[in-house]
Amino acid sequence: MAAVALILLVFVIAQPVMANDKFYTNERVNLRTGPSTDHDRLRTLSIGTEVTVLEHDVNEWSKVVFRDQTGYIKSEFLDSNRPENAPNISPSGVVMMEWSQARNVVKPGTTISMYDVRSGLTYNVRSFSTGAHADVVTLTAQDTETMKRTFGNWTWCPRPVWVTIGDVTIAAAINGMPHGGGALPGTEVSGHFFLHFKGSSVHNGNRSYNNDVQAAVQSAFNAAQ
């Protein structure tokens, strides 16, 4: 009887994941071309990203499909249930990420590609501090000119943007008034800009302005639906 019970237990534990099962990443993880860290990285997936499992070895690597890419993820980073702390991801892949997580992506020194969702214009900035929000500066005079075009003129009014770092695109909002220091030489602007994400805040505690900023972040995410 005990032997039968043991066989049944082994059968239950060893039941394979069925092909085309949906799984979710439980950490920010790399999708690779093969089943080891020696293989090239195809892209980095955010926590909570849904993938389709083709082959699954619970103790090793899983072969998965994400959109049009097939690759491998260490199986320990996959769960059948979406993590509760996972950010919302739009069908087009834009992430609504809490500032507590986003600040680890936009670390000081990070170059960020900016897409203004209302005008379709793009420019680049660089992060140099991450406190209540990210402080960023334009990289070149051309970036400054393009950014100013999106606002029409320098203004504190925030605009919805998508920020891309590597393979991750996040909904955000940026103000259009250079202030303080930090500007790079040759950028034809004096000062830096606030870059906000979900849950970030302004320094002075102005609730009305903070609400405007968060509304712009939401608008950026809505534009990705």
Burial 86-95 (b: 16+ CB within 10 A, else e): bbebbeeebb
Distance between CA atoms of residues 203 and 4, nearest Å: 66
Q: pLDDT at position 58, please?
A: 80
Q: pLDDT at position 96, please?
A: 94
Domains observed in the chain: 15-79 (2.30.30.40), 88-222 (2.30.110)
Q: What are the φ/ψ torsions at residue 217 (nearest 5 degrees)?
A: -60, -45
Q: What is the pLDDT averaged over residues 8-15?
A: 41
- pLDDT classification of 15: cutoffs 50, 70, 90: very low
Mean of the per-residue pLDDT values for the chain? 88
Distance between CA atoms of residues 1 and 21, nearest Å: 34
pLDDT at 180 over 90: yes
pLDDT at 47 over 90: no
Distances 134 to 6, 29, 77, 100, 207 between C-alpha atoms, Å: 56, 23, 29, 11, 18
pTM beyond 0.85, yes or no? no
Q: What is the pLDDT averaged over residues 103-109?
A: 94
Q: Alpha-carbon torsion 103, 109, 113, 118, what sign? A: positive
Q: Which of 197, 73, 90 shows the shortest CA–CA distance to 136?
A: 197
Residues 6+ apart with CB under 8 A from 19: 53, 54, 55
